[in-house]
Chains A and B, each alone.
Chain A
């Protein structure tokens, strides 16, 4: 197979160089010479992209370079269908990016997900995977997203050529090492970079637009917007500090603190969190879907803001669930919190927890489900599982239904929460 690629390269180099000479001839002393640079860079890269055949989720055979990359803008990642670690959050990020790029790019950007386990991920499996991540009915106007498989040798050579390869063989065998990397590029303009999908979504979107935009207008639209905002703040006589748009509502002050016991048995009180931006989550439920949704969002907040000063997460539990210290530890581990993260798991008195969540956080009271309506013996109560955002002055600024029957609405709430936390942190005076 590798021999084939070598011959294929050799074959393609000939026309490529001819083209090249032409470019140089016209480049001399003409304004078009500025484009020549991009052309040269593009061709040096294009020489290396194998034109191997791959099969997509519809069973069609496509040539990687000539049919998927040449002259196109692409976002490429490597995944495998059984991945439970870095692929699912990467897919969430790709969906977000795809929706974000749709208004300005339409179909002029192409998402390509290539399997790392071609032995297992057949066309049929890709089709199922595609149905989950990019259902055809929801995406007629979104950029195309194709899922690709091929021969293991071809996929390895592809990864090498695209730089999605670890020199260390042990690292290379660990899919989490490349699971969240997006290779974004525009073959026509010659601009390529790699982006980590798990970063700040706003930044990723701006970065991708800048890197693969077709025109200068498309590439630098966001920079020009930021300049305009900066200049108007100067004209207003304000110091040119970064501000996010959109004021958050003021939903009332916390009436009092809550105290609880952490996994080490220490009594902790939220009084000591004054001056910080805090997100509270109730987890006194046995609903596994609710716990999963809440912890996933809180984990992401921890990933995004856990290293910031002035940010804290509090998960509230009741002793009926947290009878043992080990349960709190398990919970923290399950949620993804590490020692030293600003994330408390507190076991609280049930009465106090009810009072705090109703009076201070403004959550709805828990409903007791009549015995005859219970679907399972565990379904004793229905809790308001919204996450609550509290600012540095102990004022509630938002409640977010991140666990919602409609997953799209849950995701939207989680994104809003993330944006609002960032916004509040910007306005918060810095703590030592």
Chain B
């Protein structure tokens, strides 16, 4: 790279501040030595019939069982034969810091069971599930860690048993058969709601009290999902990919579609991840990693790439831009593609959120390097500098100006045998079905606040026995989410389905373009108040909603709604329970 032409200034020596308590932490990490790890596809142990790797144990024949829905599947759930996976949550070790530092990092991750029953070494982020709407999946999750786990497949539409509920655990030495039917919710007339098909999911650990520590230690992974509409966009060359290959399951192999899981860490000088389990305000690291590697570089062809940005930190917020401040195309928020993309120069990403973007490297000469950089300064756990409304502002601020580079793209010539993707801001992507006020059946309000040294919602704390809201199955509700705690930011995550932000009561304005469709995490800035609408379809039972600053959810800023045949305006004891 001696002759590389750098776009934007290379700022490889800027250092993130770290709490002085970590006195023996690593301060300086060489940049751009690591190659970006690209998560490999999870390979099923079998398709269509019970695989030998399940050891003769039928689905559900493990301690924590499977979802009742598995035994009661409507015909239309089985368009394609069921895929069976088996995965082991276990400890692993590998290079997260550049190998030149000579320090391996122990972590917690996931190792896939191979069809012959052997187990691959643990990786973090974990193996990438590639799901298909219409093709059910069963993931037998075996816990070989010394602590309890609960895997939440974030952004999908799952039965309560398999949703990664904070109190539906997998205890050490046992297993749970997570059942992912990969079905679309149905409209009132019985037709599938294609607008709700997720694209960009991820999974992470979600057990009560210990989520943040587990996520910080590495229990997370990625999971794209494809439906006919999205596969057609790839096949026809609109979205990046190799037509005829990237649209074919089960591998959906696509060198031009890459997840970037952003996570900040503190490393002890031995190379181990440091995490303070008694800081319940938020974990801020001084070393940025992507897909489990600190400050990596990624070689890209001079063409369009799709990146699925993922806020995998427990507490850090970021605003991202390219170092030359050029525009890119945002095509989705959280799990869902927009109806049409939008050209922007910056985007905000909080814990739990995803942003699907297209970067066109064909405008750069081969040999050019360009950086992905974070321009949002976050000095403490409360939240970042600046306002929520500045989410798309590409200007750097702070004194000195805050710019922290995370990833270097090295541009090489494009492979001429694969045409460049045609997607532009004019391309039609996924249709959107707005929820209208007339559909709303029940209105509720939730205030997220600090109370008695804890994080609370409406003055209450998480209790697995209490359904804090009971929406009717198939209904629409409108919820006001209010931030009542001075100066703190809370990204609010709703399980089960997408929600639609309809109003920002603080600014009095409609949400800006990127937030006006579907989301599964809505940002609540300091003292802000928003109105969302949400449908509750397909599955009965309890589902979580909570702050996605994982430290906040662990000290009880977490509620659950229980979808039931009869709604209730007030809290109720939880009835369905899948321990």
Contact in complex: B279, A163 (CB < 8 Å): yes
Among listed A175-183, A325-333, A359-367, A368-376, interface-contacting one: A175-183
Q: Are B463 and A200 in contact (CB under 8 A)?
A: yes
8 Å CB contact of A13 from B23, B93, B465, B556: B23
CB-CB < 8 A to B65: which residues of A?
Answer: 227, 230-231, 234
Which of A17, A171, A220 touches B171 (beta carbons < 8 Å)? A220
Binds B, one of A19-27, A266-274, A292-300: A19-27
Q: Are B575 and A190 in contact (CB under 8 A)?
A: no
Q: Which of A222-246 contact B (CB under 8 A)?
A: 223-224, 226-227, 230-231, 234, 239-242
Task: Known contacts A45-B278, A183-B278; decide if A426 and B146 are in contact (CB<8 Å).
Answer: no
Residues of B within 8 A of A9 (CB): 23
Query: Does any Cβ of A come within 8 Å of B301's Cβ?
Result: no
Q: Taking A224-B171, A242-B574, A430-B566 as contacts, is the C-beta distance between A200 and B465 under 8 angstroms?
A: yes
Which residues of A75-121 have CB atoms within 8 Å of chain B's CB atoms? 86
Q: Write out the residue numbers on chain B whose beta carbons fall within 8 Å of the beta carbon of A219.
A: 148, 171
Known: A34-B146, A38-B146, A199-B463. A308 touches B452 (CB 8 A): no
Q: How far is the CA of A23 from the CA of B24 in the complex (A)?
A: 17
Interface pair B453/A33, CB less than 8 Å apart: no
Q: When chains A and B are docked, how far (Å) is the Cα of A45 from the Cα of B281? A: 15
Is A211 in contact with B209, judged by CB distance below 8 angstroms?
yes
C-alpha gap A45/B470 in the complex (Å): 39
Asked if A28 lies at the interface with its beta carbon under 8 angstroms from chain B, I say yes
Shortest C-beta distance, A151 to chain B (Å), equals 21
* B461 contact from A37, A196, A242, Cβ within 8 A: A196
Known A-B contacts A203-B464, A242-B577, A307-B571; A168 and B486 likewise in contact (beta carbons under 8 Å): yes
A226 to B148, CA, bound (A): 15
Assess the A180–B577 pair: CB atoms within 8 A.
no
Chain B CB within 8 A of A4 CB:
no
Decide yes or no: A227 and B64 within 8 Å by CB, A33-B93, A308-B573 being known contacts: yes
B460 at interface, CB cutoff 8 A: yes
Interface string of A236-263 (1 = CB under 8 A from B): 0001111000000000000000000000
Q: What's the nearest-Cβ distance from chain A to residue B142, in Å? A: 13
Separation of A230 and B280 alpha carbons in the complex (Å): 33
Considering only CB atoms, which chain A residue lies closest to B103 in the complex? Answer: A24
> Is the CB–CB distance between B450 and A310 below 8 Å?
no
A194 interfacial contact with B, CB 8 Å: yes
Q: Which of B144, B274, B464 contacts A44 (CB 8 A)?
A: B274
Contact A230 B277 (CB under 8 A): no
Q: For B107, B269, B454, B579, which residue has the most chain A Cβ atoms within 10 angstroms?
A: B579
A381 interfacial by beta-carbon distance below 8 Å: no
Q: Is B577 touching A230 in the complex (CB atoms < 8 A)?
A: yes
**Interface SS majority for chain B:** loop
What is the size category of the interface that chain A forms with chain B? Answer: 35 or more
B91 touches A163 (CB 8 A): no
Min CB distance A180 to B, Å, is: 5
Q: Is the CB of B278 within 8 A of A308?
A: no
The B-contacting residues of A in range 34-84, CB under 8 angstroms, are 34-38, 40-41, 44-45, 47-48
Contact A431 B568 (CB under 8 A): yes
Cβ–Cβ contact B171 & A177, under 8 A = no
B contact residues around A339 at 8 Å (CB): none
| Cβ contact within 8 Å between A34 and B276 | no
B554 at the interface (CB under 8 A from A): yes
Given contacts A45-B276, A48-B21, A179-B452, contact A226 B577 (CB under 8 A): yes
B555 contact set on A, CB distance < 8 A: 193-194
Identify which of residues 133-166 in chain B touch chain A, using a CB-to-CB cut-off of 8 Å: 144-148
Q: How far is the CB of A241 from chain B (nearest CB, A)?
A: 5
Interface residues on B, range: 35 or more
Tell me whether B570 is interfacial, beta carbon within 8 Å: yes
Give Cα A430–Cα B564 distance, bound, in whole angstroms: 10
Q: How far is the CA of A196 from the CA of B575 in the complex (A)?
A: 24
| CB atoms of B281 and A181 under 8 A apart | no
Asked if A404 lies at the interface with its beta carbon under 8 angstroms from chain B, I say no
Pairwise interchain contact B382-A193, C-beta atoms closer than 8 A? no
- B556/A44 in contact, CB under 8 A: no
On whether the beta carbons of B278 and A162 are closer than 8 Å, the reply is yes
Report whether B24 and A309 are in contact in the complex, using a CB–CB cutoff of 8 Å.
Answer: no
B364 at the interface (CB under 8 A from A): no
Which A residues touch B579, using CB under 8 A?
A: 223, 226-227, 230
**B residues 95-149 touching A (CB-CB < 8 Å):** 104, 106-108, 144-148
Q: Contact between B277 and A432 (Cβ–Cβ < 8 Å)? A: no
Whether A166 is near chain B, meaning CB under 8 Å from some CB there, is yes
| Residues of A with C-beta under 8 A to B269 | 17
User: A41, B275: Cβ atoms under 8 Å?
Assistant: yes
Docked pose: A227 CA to B167 CA in angstroms: 12
B160 to chain A, nearest CB (A): 11
Chain B residues near A125 (CB-CB < 8 A): none
The docked-state distance in angstroms from the alpha carbon of A224 to that of B148 is: 12
Let me know if A194 and B145 touch, CB within 8 A: no
Contacts of A122 in B (CB 8 A): none
Give complex CA distance A300, B566 in Å: 28
Restricting to B204-224, which residues have a CB under 8 Å from any CB of A?
208-210, 213, 217
Q: Which residues in chain B, 449-504, are within 8 Å of chain A measured between CB atoms?
A: 450, 452-454, 458, 460-461, 463-466, 468, 470, 486
**Cβ of A35 and Cβ of B146 under 8 Å apart?**
yes
Q: Is the CB of A207 within 8 A of B209?
A: yes
Q: Is the CB of A309 within 8 A of B453?
A: no
Among candidates A196, A242, A422, residue contacting B454 with C-beta atoms closer than 8 Å:
A196
Residues A192 and B91 in contact in the complex (CB < 8 Å), given A178-B453, A203-B465, A430-B564? no
CA distance A430 to B562 in the complex (A): 12
**B272 at interface by CB-CB < 8 Å:** yes
Nearest CB on B from A68, distance (A): 15
Instruction: Select B277's contact among A192, A307, A429, beta carbons within 8 Å.
Output: A192
Residues in chain A near residue B268, CB distance under 8 A = 20, 40, 44
A355 within 8 A of B: no
CB distance from A259 to the nearest CB of B (A): 25
Contacts of A177 in B (CB 8 A): 452-453
Contact between chains at A309 and B465 (CB < 8 Å): no
- On whether A196 and B276 interact (CB within 8 A), knowing A13-B24, A40-B106, the answer reads no
What residues of B have a CB within 8 angstroms of the CB of A181 in the complex?
452-454
1/0 contact string of B52-83 vs chain A (CB within 8 Å): 00000000000111001000000000000000
In the complex, besides A20-B268, A193-B210, A240-B578, 4 extra interface pairs with C-beta distance below 8 angstroms are A21-B270, A34-B145, A224-B171, A227-B579
Would you list the 3 A-B pairs with minimal beta carbon distance, nearest first? A309-B570, A226-B579, A181-B453
Sample (29) of A-B pairs whose CB atoms are under 8 Å apart: A13-B24, A37-B91, A37-B108, A38-B147, A40-B273, A41-B217, A48-B21, A163-B281, A177-B452, A178-B453, A190-B277, A191-B277, A192-B278, A196-B461, A200-B463, A210-B209, A219-B148, A223-B148, A226-B579, A227-B65, A227-B579, A230-B578, A241-B575, A242-B574, A242-B577, A310-B570, A422-B573, A426-B575, A429-B566
